[in-house]
Amino acid sequence: MAEGRISTRLSGELAEWLEDRTDRMMTGSPDIQARQELGMWRGALAAELRRIRLTVDQANCLADVMNGTILDAALSGSVPIVFFNASDAFQLARETPFPGESSYGKKWGINEDALLDYLRRLGPTADHALHDAISRWWKKNAEPTVEGWASVGLAVAPSTPDPLAG
């Protein structure tokens, strides 16, 4: 749907918030303001995605971890969703390895702890932007390459061997 009409009823605090924004931004209409808010949200996600710094192997590892997770509307301020999923997956792989299965660090040639430390520091909007990019990457069936990640707005660096991988 390239163009269309969206209709919804707002009440309570959300309606008051939109009215207040409409008045202060002088758009003259909650409908116009809602359209602008959607545009700003999309811009905020894109801006946060541009600030994320990962290697292609780190991004591929996160895609591996996040495969099948559902993108939802929650913004978690206390525990970033991508961090939580990666931390949980890394721990499970270490604690209950299947025969012949290695850790994510070994599989992808990354330092799990360094990646978790980076993910832990992402704010809620950046975390959601990364989760969204991973979801779109899977939906698009993009290649696990620098170019594949760029096709969903995530600029990743080529990977170099990590001596602390695993």
* Residue-level pLDDT, tens digit, the chain, 166 residues: 457 788 888 889 999 999 999 999 999 999 999 999 999 999 999 999 999 999 999 999 999 999 988 887 777 666 689 999 999 999 998 887 666 667 899 999 999 999 999 999 999 999 999 999 999 999 999 999 999 999 999 999 998 876 666 5
Length of the chain in terms of residues written: 166
Q: How far apart are CA 118 and CA 151, in angstroms?
A: 23
Per-residue tokens: 67: 């495969």
Q: What is the DSSP letter of 145?
A: S
CA-based angle 127:68:141, to the nearest 5?
90
**162 with 109: CB under 8 angstroms?**
yes
Whose CA is closest to 61, among 108, 128, 116? 108
Q: How far apart are CA 33 and CA 29, in angstroms?
A: 6
3-class DSSP state of 90: helix
Helix axes 56-66, 124-140, angle to 10 degrees: 80
**150 with 157: CB under 8 angstroms?**
no
Per-residue tokens: 124: 């809620």
pLDDT at 98: 67
